């Protein structure tokens, strides 16, 4: 049984079909990438999966349960957590205070939550910033904080929305290493990513979206040679030149 | 943290002994300082910690005051019990308002408008209800005695009000270190992020408004039995709501000591200005002074006086650890 399964998911805004008949499966332990040009519906898909938006039709199965209609906090309690493309730290709180909120999702006591918080902050490499206000963090650190908060909820499935955008190459490398470690510990990952190097390094399989539709799925190296994918990214002319 | 607790203990000791050294008039000012610190703290739980801005807290004050007073006058129920009934009544109304506002996702100014509207509905309702004295107001018969919550002189009120303040500080501090308090602050900072991390935003906003309205109503009972006269305009008008929120704003929102510091600063100033200008025949000028003070506080102490004090004290005490 796949950990996450989408069956013909649709979402429209007025006349615009943001997500149209999207289906795919994600198995436990896997890292799946979602790519597509700007406006392809990637973030909308995340919002639909995690309950921030309601699907118009279709089903979202997570861990053997149809989670359509669940509120985001219920989705999180079930074991699926997402990060935001535009990071949303609790700016007036310290790194510790940020993460402890997330750790309380599963911890039974405050003490347990605090211990988990310290471990998680250490894992993402923010130990020295533990008592820094998150408003004083660089973008790279904020992205790590976003990740730390998500991990502290103890997810089975982690949805990452462009965590690598805006980072320096060194930061990207560190993040790849970190995400591999997280995956190694048993967390399944679904990521939207524009940083190709990161995507290629992490995911064995990618799904390509364009105008809300799934146009390709497969191994990253092959997908980028797909005619439809090249068309979507670079235009029809370029695609015909290639063939 | 240890230093803060020892400082607070010393302060409490001084306040406990203070009545031996000052006149009844000064004690009266302290009663108001404590009262407004308590009311500010009650409001602070909702707006300072959890985020939704309420400009209708006079409604809860009024509900607490009228319920306990009516119970005492008509059924002989002691205000010491009536205050809890009033608290429950106000909490129910608070939850109803919260349900409307939070279920339908009213945010920012729209929630403010909702609270103002209900505050006004409350005031107008009382104004037209004969059993509550409608436009004549409700005079509380003075029957001195502990059971009746009526006392001669300010001394008993001083200790009761001080008890209220200590109670509210303990509540807020307990919240701060609890799961509820952590969640309150998270949803104040960013609702979507909190929701995505497993926080039931609706539920915790409801808890916050429930606690806040309940606490405010307890203060309402105190007020009724201190002033002995209830009138919709004097206990349930928007101006009362503004009085409640001023002190925590100036002292520091979302901090346990903000309302206290704000009240110690603002209440005596307001009292002195009121009596001074009234004597000089310039009634109402103290409101202008209020306004100026608010502007000055916002300009020079954004984030409140407490944040400013913390900034000065921090280098002396050293970097405090996460508490």
pLDDT tens profile A78-94: 999 999 999 999 999 99
pLDDT averaged over every residue in chain A: 91
A182 occurs within a structural domain: no
**How many CB atoms sit inside 10 A of residue B20's CB?**
6
> Do the chains contact at B185 and A93, CB–CB below 8 Å?
yes
A59 and A39 inside one domain: yes
Domain total in chain A:
2
pLDDT at A198 over 70: yes
A196 occurs within a structural domain: yes
Separation CA B127–CA B133 (nearest Å): 8
φ, ψ for residue B201, nearest 5 deg? -55, -45
φ, ψ for residue B283, nearest 5 deg? -55, 140
Q: What is the pLDDT of residue B35?
A: 97
Those residues whose C-beta lies under 8 Å from the C-beta of residue B104, and which sit 6 or more positions away, are none
Q: What is the pLDDT of residue A240?
A: 66
Minimal C-alpha gap between A238 and chain B (Å) = 40
A89 occurs within a structural domain: yes
Q: Write the ipTM.
A: 0.90
**How many CB atoms sit inside 10 A of residue B102's CB?**
21
Average pLDDT of the residues in B8-12: 90
Separation CA A210–CA B52 (nearest Å): 40
Separation CA A129–CA A98 (nearest Å): 12
Q: What is the pLDDT of residue B317?
A: 59
User: What is the helix (H) or strand (E) element at residue B177, kind and residue range?
Assistant: none
Nearest CA in chain A to B183: A101
A37 and A126 inside one domain: no
- Pair A18, A11: CB distance under 8 Å: yes
| Residue A101 domain boundaries | 85-154
- Pair B295, B301: CB distance under 8 Å: no
A47 and A162 inside one domain: yes
> Do the chains contact at A52 and B322, CB–CB below 8 Å?
no
Separation CA B110–CA A143 (nearest Å): 32
A100 and A198 inside one domain: no
A123 and A66 inside one domain: no
Q: What tens digit of pLDDT does each residue of B28-46 get?
A: 999 999 999 999 999 999 9
Select from A90, A98, A155 the residue whose CB has the most chain B CBs within 10 Å, as the one to mutate to test that interface: A90
Q: Where are the domains of chain B?
A: 25-237
Q: What is the pLDDT of residue B14?
A: 93
A89 and A71 inside one domain: no
CB contacts, 8 Å: B195 with chain A: 52, 71-73, 76
pLDDT above 90 covers a percentage of chain B that reads 64
Structure tokens at B20: 């031996």
Select from B175, B179, B193, B323 the residue whose CB has the most chain A CBs within 10 Å, as the one to mutate to test that interface: B193
> Do the chains contact at B195 and A72, CB–CB below 8 Å?
yes
Structure tokens at B23: 């006149």
> Do the chains contact at A130 and B322, CB–CB below 8 Å?
yes
A7 and A60 inside one domain: yes
pTM (2 d.p.): 0.91
Average pLDDT of the residues in B128-134: 84
Those residues whose C-beta lies under 8 Å from the C-beta of residue B74, and which sit 6 or more positions away, are none
Q: What is the pLDDT of residue B96?
A: 97
Separation CA B177–CA B194 (nearest Å): 17
To the nearest 5 percent, what fractions of chain A are helix, strand and coil?
A: 40, 25, 35
A67 and A104 inside one domain: no
Average pLDDT of the residues in B122-148: 86
CB contacts, 8 Å: B196 with chain A: 50, 52, 72-73, 76, 81-82, 84
DSSP state of A193: -
The upper half-sphere exposure of residue B18, i.e. CA atoms within 13 Å in the direction of its Cβ, equals 22
User: What is the helix (H) or strand (E) element at residue A81, kind and residue range?
Assistant: strand A80-82
Nearest CA in chain A to B182: A101
pLDDT at B83 over 60: yes
**Chain A to chain B Cβ contacts (< 8 Å):** 80
Q: How far is CA B177 from the centre of its chain?
A: 21
- Pair A74, A51: CB distance under 8 Å: yes
pLDDT averaged over every residue in chain B: 90
> Do the chains contact at B321 and A131, CB–CB below 8 Å?
yes
Higher confidence at residue A243 or residue B55? B55
Average pLDDT of the residues in B207-230: 95
pLDDT at A243 over 60: no
Separation CA B212–CA B210 (nearest Å): 5
Average pLDDT of the residues in A95-121: 94
Question: What band does B318 get if pLDDT is binned at 50, 70 and 90?
Answer: low
The single residue listed with the structure tokens 């004290």 is B313
Q: What tens digit of pLDDT does each residue of B247-269 get?
A: 999 899 999 999 999 999 889 88
Average pLDDT of the residues in B84-93: 97
Question: What band does A71 get if pLDDT is binned at 50, 70 and 90?
Answer: very high
A109 and A68 inside one domain: no
Minimal C-alpha gap between B196 and chain A (Å) = 5
A13 and A73 inside one domain: yes
φ, ψ for residue B162, nearest 5 deg? -60, -40
């Amino acid at each position: 049984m796949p950990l996450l399964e989408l069956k013909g998911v649709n979402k429209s805004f007025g006349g615009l079909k943001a997500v149209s008949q999207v289906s795919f499966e994600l198995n436990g332990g896997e890292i799946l990438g979602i790519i597509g040009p700007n406006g392809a519906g990637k973030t909308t898909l995340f919002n639909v999966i995690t309950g921030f938006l309601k699907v118009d039709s279709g089903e979202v199965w997570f861990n053997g349960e149809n989670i359509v209609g669940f509120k985001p906090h219920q989705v999180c309690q079930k074991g699926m957590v997402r990060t935001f493309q535009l990071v949303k730290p609790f700016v007036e709180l310290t790194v510790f205070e940020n993460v402890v909120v997330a750790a309380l999702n599963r911890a039974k006591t405050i003490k347990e939550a605090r211990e988990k918080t310290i471990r998680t902050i250490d894992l993402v490499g923010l130990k020295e910033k533990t008592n820094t206000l998150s408003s004083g963090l660089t973008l790279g650190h904020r992205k790590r904080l976003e990740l730390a908060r998500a991990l502290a909820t103890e997810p089975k499935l982690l949805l990452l929305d462009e965590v690598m955008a805006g980072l320096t190459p060194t930061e990207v490398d560190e993040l790849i290493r970190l995400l591999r470690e997280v995956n190694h510990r048993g967390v399944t990952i679904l990521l939207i990513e524009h940083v190709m190097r990161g995507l290629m390094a992490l995911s064995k399989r990618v799904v390509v979206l364009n105008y809300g539709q799934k146009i390709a799925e497969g191994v990253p190296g092959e997908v980028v040679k797909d005619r439809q994918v090249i068309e979507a990214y670079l235009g029809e002319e370029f695609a015909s030149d290639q063939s | 943290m240890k230093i803060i607790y020892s400082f607070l203990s010393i302060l409490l000791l001084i306040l406990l002994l203070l009545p031996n050294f000052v006149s009844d008039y000064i004690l009266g000012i302290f009663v108001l300082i404590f009262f407004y610190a308590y009311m500010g703290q009650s409001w602070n739980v909702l707006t300072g910690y959890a985020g939704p801005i309420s400009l209708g807290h006079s409604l809860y004050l009024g509900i607490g005051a009228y319920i306990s007073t009516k119970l005492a006058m008509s059924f002989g129920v002691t205000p010491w019990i009536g205050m809890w009934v009033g608290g429950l009544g106000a909490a129910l109304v608070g939850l109803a308002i919260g349900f409307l506002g939070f279920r339908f996702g009213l945010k920012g100014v729209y929630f403010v408008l909702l609270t103002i509207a209900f505050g006004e509905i409350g005031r107008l309702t009382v104004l037209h209800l004969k059993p509550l004295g409608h436009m004549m107001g409700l005079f509380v018969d003075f029957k001195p005695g502990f059971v009746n919550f009526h006392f001669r002189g300010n001394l008993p009120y001083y200790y009761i009000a001080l008890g209220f303040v200590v109670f509210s500080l303990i509540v807020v501090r307990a919240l701060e270190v609890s799961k509820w308090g952590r969640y309150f602050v998270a949803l104040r900072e960013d609702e979507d992020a909190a929701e995505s991390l497993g926080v039931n935003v609706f539920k915790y906003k409801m808890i916050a408004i429930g606690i806040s309205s309940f606490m405010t109503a307890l203060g309402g009972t105190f007020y009724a039995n201190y002033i002995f006269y209830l009138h919709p305009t004097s206990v349930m008008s928007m101006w009362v709501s503004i009085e409640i929120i001023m002190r925590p704003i100036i002292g520091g929102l979302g901090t346990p000591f903000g309302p206290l510091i704000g009240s110690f600063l603002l209440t005596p100033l307001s009292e002195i200005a009121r009596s001074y200008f009234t004597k000089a025949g310039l009634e109402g000028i103290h409101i202008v002074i209020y306004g100026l003070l608010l502007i000055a506080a916002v300009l020079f102490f954004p984030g409140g006086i407490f944040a400013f004090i913390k900034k000065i004290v921090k280098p002396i005490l050293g970097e405090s650890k996460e508490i």
